[in-house]
Amino acid sequence: MARAIDVPDLIARARQGQAAAVARLISLVEDDSPALPEVSAALAPHTGRAHIVGLTGSPGVGKSTSTSALVAELRRRGKRVAVLAIDPSSPFSGGALLGDRVRMSEHDTDPDVFIRSMASRGHLGGLAGAAPQALRVLDAAGCEVVLVETVGVGQSEVEVAGVADTTLVLLAPGMGDGIQAAKAGILEIGDIFVINKADRDGATTTRRELRTMVGMRAADDSWTPPIVLTVATKGEGAEEVVDEITNHGDHLRSSGELTKRRVARARREIEALALASVQRRLGEFGAGVQELAVQVEAGALDPFAAANQLLGASS
Amino acid sequence: MARAIDVPDLIARARQGQAAAVARLISLVEDDSPALPEVSAALAPHTGRAHIVGLTGSPGVGKSTSTSALVAELRRRGKRVAVLAIDPSSPFSGGALLGDRVRMSEHDTDPDVFIRSMASRGHLGGLAGAAPQALRVLDAAGCEVVLVETVGVGQSEVEVAGVADTTLVLLAPGMGDGIQAAKAGILEIGDIFVINKADRDGATTTRRELRTMVGMRAADDSWTPPIVLTVATKGEGAEEVVDEITNHGDHLRSSGELTKRRVARARREIEALALASVQRRLGEFGAGVQELAVQVEAGALDPFAAANQLLGASS
């Protein structure tokens, strides 16, 4: 039998900033715990304060190092920070993964930095279903800035933008990254572009190419995405990136865009949860659907009627 | 306002083999018509007789030419035949597409050959939701063999096997097709392998490679997939392929595998229709979900409660 969870106590302790309570709540999200609706309801009044910043970019551009440099700069400004690394391809809890992230270890003993990785593969709602819940935990726990990055590659690179207020797109000189960015659709989602490893050849060419491509975005956009050059391993440029994050946050609030983005995000989350709930119920009704399939095969029932019976019986 | 549809009359005429009535019923499937549940219920008692044969293979192996050669051979044996070409990437009704299929034109005036292409992209249930319904129409219309092929490439190549009783995998010599087949997972789905363009160099090598790979499939399989060499442009080998299709049909019936496959297919169809129905209802409730998202964004409601309200209101 599952250990009973004292949700109000957990949430009270998380709101006091106790890392163990925050970690436990995120594990509940990761495990798709039956306690989640109660957790979610209790968190709701305490959310909406954190600035959610998504980091996206191809492997090799220096995402982890950049994240670490941004954490250092945000701490210098006295901000409480969280890092949420989402691994959409892994069914395992990601504790081990942080072993690789050597450069993050400098923040390990800082009580005002919460670092956590999370698997989303097993989650019925996928990244879109799991990430917003974990973010809400970190938000309620008083984290002022939450950096979200995905581990690995693919579609999820774009998906992460869907859960963020501000999206940073990281590139590196050369490698035809400009073209790659255009192909992957990350040009459209970038609020701030960062060209990391800017001490390498080709950084200015990449910036020029990128500026042209960004210039072709919708002209009625009231925000022109800045392009910042960084050398994350040396912390160079981190200050400017954090300035731009702050600028973008101010722009989101003054333009009304923040609420618009967050409502759209809530809507996607509600729909993902609703569909996941239906899929779960259909799955639990396994024996029933098999029985219906036998009747359809025999011509005694048609598939539409069977689908209706399935929905009726499982609701 | 939509023209009223006299479903019983349409079905009576389709069962008499009137091509116009069959075509109209398949258009209803393609358009996801509200009359479909009624059509589906009326068809149910008249289904289960047709042998559904899926044709799959990479572009360039000669799928259309092979289909045409098989139709000719089946007609020689006096069978009533239908060809259903599914285009999963096209939102358009596929009438135009058949213009390319020059070699099919020899059957155009044969009243016992029904040829139809169908788009599945707009369909909420996708190929898995749309194809079985169209196949049921052709089955009830008295077609004894229905050849199903997909137009275009990709995932759907494997998906087509899910709607067929017997799956033909077409290959051509060279081009590393053997390896490609293994990668695409079509080795597992082939009941009969056809090496077309067998007058080209490399046909025997391809057969040898294929035999080795097919030999590695599960040993408890009571059916060993035959490998047939054909030259579809000359009609060579079509007789042997049709013999093997008949053999496989006999095997399916005597082993009980036919019912097992069809029950599994019915189950997938029921689940696809049930989920599509829920998605549709959520979509129709657009204004409602927006309202809920605004409340969630404001912290007045949590997303789980919102998802429940959405499901409650839309059911």
Topology of A48-255 in CATH?
Rossmann fold (3.40.50)
Q: How many CB pairs under 8 A join A and B?
A: 153
Q: What is the pLDDT of residue B174?
A: 75
State the DSSP code for A283.
H
Q: Sheet containing B51-57: give its strands across.
A: B113-119, B81-87, B145-150, B51-57, B166-171, B192-195, B227-229
Asked if A49 is an interface residue toward chain B (Cβ–Cβ < 8 A), one would say: no
Asked if B49 is an interface residue toward chain A (Cβ–Cβ < 8 A), one would say: no
The crossing angle, in degrees rounded to 10, of helices A7-15 and A19-30 is 130
CA–CA dist B38, B10 (Å, integer): 12
Q: What is the pLDDT of residue A238?
A: 97
Q: What is the pLDDT of residue B86?
A: 79
As beta bridge partners, residue B83 has B115, B147
Q: What is the pLDDT of residue B104?
A: 55
| Of residues A40, A43, A306, nearest to B270 (C-beta) | A306
Contact present, A287 and A314 (Cβ < 8 Å):
no
Interface of A with B in 170-229 (CB under 8 A): none
Q: How many angstroms from the chain centroid is the CA of residue B12?
A: 24
CA–CA dist A173, A179 (Å, integer): 12
Q: Classify A26 as helix, strand or coil.
A: helix
* Amino acid letter, residue B234: K
| Of residues B132, B279, B299, nearest to A275 (C-beta) | B279
| Of residues A45, A271, A275, nearest to B299 (C-beta) | A45
Comparing alpha-carbon positions, the chain A residue that sits nearest to B272 is A307
* Amino acid letter, residue B24: R
**Count of Cβ atoms closer than 10 Å to residue B3 Cβ:** 5
Q: What is the pLDDT of residue A185?
A: 66
Interface of B with A in 243-272 (CB under 8 A): 259, 262-267, 269-271
Q: Decide if A310 and B46 are in contact by the 8 Å CB cutoff.
A: no
Interface of A with B in 274-313 (CB under 8 A): 274-275, 277-279, 282, 289-290, 292-294, 296-308, 310-311
Contacts of B292 in chain A (CB under 8 A): 266-267, 270
Contact present, A162 and A268 (Cβ < 8 Å):
yes
Q: State how far residue B78 is from chain A, nearest Cα, in angstroms.
A: 26
Q: Which residue has the higher pLDDT, B92 or B227?
A: B227
Q: Decide if B266 and A296 are in contact by the 8 Å CB cutoff.
A: yes
The crossing angle, in degrees rounded to 10, of helices B286-297 and B257-284 is 70
Q: Decide if B298 and A48 are in contact by the 8 Å CB cutoff.
A: yes
* Amino acid letter, residue A153: V
CA–CA dist B174, B49 (Å, integer): 38
Q: What is the pLDDT of residue B31?
A: 82
Domain residue spans in chain A? 48-255, 271-314
The crossing angle, in degrees rounded to 10, of helices A126-140 and A7-15 is 60
Asked if A132 is an interface residue toward chain B (Cβ–Cβ < 8 A), one would say: yes
Contact present, B160 and B86 (Cβ < 8 Å):
yes
Token code pair at residue A87:
């691994």
Average pLDDT, chain B: 82
Number of helices and strands in chain B (H, E): 13, 7
* Cα Dmax for chain A: 72
Contact present, A64 and A57 (Cβ < 8 Å):
no
Q: State how far residue B248 is from chain A, nearest Cα, in angstroms.
A: 19
CA–CA dist A1, A17 (Å, integer): 29
Contacts of B124 in chain A (CB under 8 A): none
Q: Which residue has the higher pLDDT, A166 or B289?
A: A166
CA–CA dist B61, B235 (Å, integer): 15
Interface test with A, best of B304, B311, B315 (most A CBs within 10 A): B304
State the DSSP code for A226.
-
Asked if A96 is an interface residue toward chain B (Cβ–Cβ < 8 A), one would say: no
Q: Classify B162 as helix, strand or coil.
A: helix
* Amino acid letter, residue A24: R
Q: State how far residue B85 is from chain A, nearest Cα, in angstroms.
A: 22
Q: State how far residue A23 is from chain B, nearest Cα, in angstroms.
A: 20
As beta bridge partners, residue A86 has A118, A150
Q: Decide if B275 and A278 are in contact by the 8 Å CB cutoff.
A: yes
Q: Decide if B270 and A262 are in contact by the 8 Å CB cutoff.
A: no
Interface test with B, best of A304, A309, A311, A314 (most B CBs within 10 A): A304
Asked if A315 is an interface residue toward chain B (Cβ–Cβ < 8 A), one would say: yes
Q: Which of A54, A53, A25, A257 is nearest to A133 (CA)?
A: A25
Token code pair at residue A16:
């006091």
Q: Decide if B47 and A277 are in contact by the 8 Å CB cutoff.
A: no
CA–CA dist A156, A162 (Å, integer): 10
Q: State how far residue B10 is from chain A, nearest Cα, in angstroms.
A: 18
CA–CA dist B232, B214 (Å, integer): 23
* Amino acid letter, residue A293: A
Contact present, B106 and B70 (Cβ < 8 Å):
no
Residue B220, pLDDT > 70, answer no
Q: What is the pLDDT of residue A178?
A: 52
Q: Classify B296 as helix, strand or coil.
A: helix
Q: Mean pLDDT lowest for which of A162-166, A218-222, B112-116, B201-205?
A: A218-222
CA–CA dist A135, A52 (Å, integer): 8
Q: Which of the four pLDDT bands, split at 50, 70 and 90, describes residue B29?
A: confident
| Of residues A270, A282, A305, nearest to B271 (C-beta) | A282
Q: Classify A166 as helix, strand or coil.
A: strand
| Of residues B37, B48, B305, nearest to A304 (C-beta) | B37
CA–CA dist B315, B310 (Å, integer): 8
* Amino acid letter, residue B285: F
Helix (H) or strand (E) holding B76: helix B63-76
Interface test with A, best of B296, B301, B309, B311 (most A CBs within 10 A): B296
Q: Which of the four pLDDT bands, split at 50, 70 and 90, describes residue B85?
A: confident
Contacts of B40 in chain A (CB under 8 A): 302-305
Q: Which of the four pLDDT bands, split at 50, 70 and 90, describes residue B17?
A: confident
Residue B24, pLDDT > 80, answer yes
Q: Decide if A293 and B302 are in contact by the 8 Å CB cutoff.
A: no
Topology of B47-256 in CATH?
Rossmann fold (3.40.50)
Q: What is the pLDDT of residue B273?
A: 84
Residue B11, pLDDT > 90, answer yes
Report residues of chain A scoring pLDDT below 70: 1-3, 87-106, 108, 120-129, 151-158, 175-185, 217-221, 285-286, 313-315
CA–CA dist B101, B99 (Å, integer): 5
C-alpha separations of A48 from A161, A191, A252 in Å: 17, 20, 13
CA–CA dist A177, A186 (Å, integer): 11
CA–CA dist A227, A241 (Å, integer): 9
Q: What is the pLDDT of residue A88?
A: 57
Q: What is the pLDDT of residue A32?
A: 82
| Of residues A44, A294, A310, nearest to B274 (C-beta) | A310
CA–CA dist B57, B61 (Å, integer): 7
Q: Which of A17, A279, A4 is nearest to A129 (CA)?
A: A279
Q: State how far residue B189 is from chain A, nearest Cα, in angstroms.
A: 21
Contacts of B260 in chain A (CB under 8 A): none
What's the Rg (C-alpha) of chain B? 22
Task: Please state the rounded mean pLDDT for residues B163-190.
Answer: 74
For residues A27-63, one letter each, b for 16 or more C-beta atoms within 10 angstroms of the residue's C-beta and e for the rest, the string is ebbbebeebbbbbbebbbebbeebbbbbbbbbeebbb
Contact present, A261 and A165 (Cβ < 8 Å):
yes
Contact present, A122 and A116 (Cβ < 8 Å):
no
Q: What is the pLDDT of residue B251?
A: 96
Residue B295, pLDDT > 50, answer yes
Residue B96, pLDDT > 50, answer no
Q: Which of B9, B39, B17 is nearest to B26 (CA)?
A: B39
Q: Decide if B44 and A302 are in contact by the 8 Å CB cutoff.
A: yes
